[in-house]
A and B are shown apart, each in its own frame.
Chain A
């Protein structure tokens, strides 16, 4: 079993390189989303286009999340929840991204990418 060791290393290197390759491919071909959908307690609260700058206050005085849309990106700037995971999550703009606030039961997700979406993965 000593001779094939070099081939094993090559094979493993190729496999790991493939992983990096797939990751890079997905990263660079991801599609800008058209809008974000806000869901509160499982009910759709509203849908906001990403190309229009706006600020939305979701919730009431005691439990709220402030959604900011600017320059095609969406993020939560302020929230009533104790852990602030939604605020720290940062900005989202691509298909399949989401910001979730469990304490307030708020889900903000990107929807409706451009037509290029179909090409992202052919298998």
Chain B
């Protein structure tokens, strides 16, 4: 760690800002009275921030921002189980998005779609382990479709932001 550059004040402020933004987006999503027959169908607005960070700041900062957001949101609104669900979704989706981005073959739209889907898969897998039931797999088809569609939308918005906002010049 010592070989690496220290976190600059600027970076610290940047991460803090993005974490706050991600938390606000999570909260906005939490406020939207959107109910569905299948639990787990959601937009994943906070992923806009994570995708932005992934492209503009790099994988490390994106991971830090994502995990800090999950931790803080859980402390404020969730319980221990919610932390498991959120973390497994976040870890899987972040890993997949990182790998896809690294190939350089996909735009933020593809990365977002994969991120949305894998977030849902991570949560379902975690729920299957926690609740010890394989019946939850019945939700998978719906969650795969909803995750893809929501992820495409998130990726489009993320792509626009990445193009328009250059942190070096802000």
Q: Are A11 and B140 in contact (CB under 8 A)?
A: no
Q: Are A120 and B137 in contact (CB under 8 A)?
A: yes
Instruction: Give the size category of B's interface with A.
Output: 20 to 34
Q: Are A19 and B144 in contact (CB under 8 A)?
A: yes
Q: Contacts A15-B148, A19-B145, A19-B148 given: A123-B113 contact, CB under 8 Å?
A: no
Secondary structure call for the A interface: helix
Q: Contacts A12-B152, A96-B135, A120-B137 given: A7-B144 contact, CB under 8 Å?
A: no
Q: Are B140 and A22 in contact (CB under 8 A)?
A: yes
B33 within 8 A of A: no
Flag A1-14 by CB within 8 Å of B: 1 or 0 each: 10011011001100
B105 within 8 A of A: yes
Q: Are A15 and B106 in contact (CB under 8 A)?
A: no
Q: Contacts A12-B113, A12-B152, A123-B134 given: A1-B141 contact, CB under 8 Å?
A: no
The docked-state distance in angstroms from the alpha carbon of A4 to that of B55 is 15
B40 within 8 A of A: no
Q: Chain B's nearest CB lies how many Å from the CB of A92?
A: 14
Chain A residues, CB < 8 A from B108: 1
Q: Are A15 and B159 in contact (CB under 8 A)?
A: no
- 8 contacts across the A-B interface (CB closer than 8 A): A4-B105, A4-B106, A7-B106, A11-B114, A12-B110, A19-B141, A26-B140, A96-B135
Option from A11, A16, A121, A122 in Cβ contact (under 8 Å) with B106: A11
Q: Which residues of B contact A (CB under 8 A)?
A: 100, 104-110, 113-114, 117, 125, 128, 134-135, 137-138, 140-142, 144-145, 147-148, 152, 159, 163
Number of interface residues of A (CB under 8 A): 20
Q: Contacts A1-B108, A120-B134, A121-B137 given: A22-B152 contact, CB under 8 Å?
A: no
The docked-state distance in angstroms from the alpha carbon of A95 to that of B143 is 21
Q: Are A15 and B138 in contact (CB under 8 A)?
A: no
Q: Chain B's nearest CB lies how many Å from the CB of A7?
A: 5
Which 3 pairs, one residue from A and one from B, show the smallest C-beta to C-beta distance? A19-B144, A8-B110, A23-B141
Q: Are A22 and B144 in contact (CB under 8 A)?
A: yes
The docked-state distance in angstroms from the alpha carbon of A7 to that of B141 is 22
Chain B residues, CB < 8 A from A4: 104-107, 110
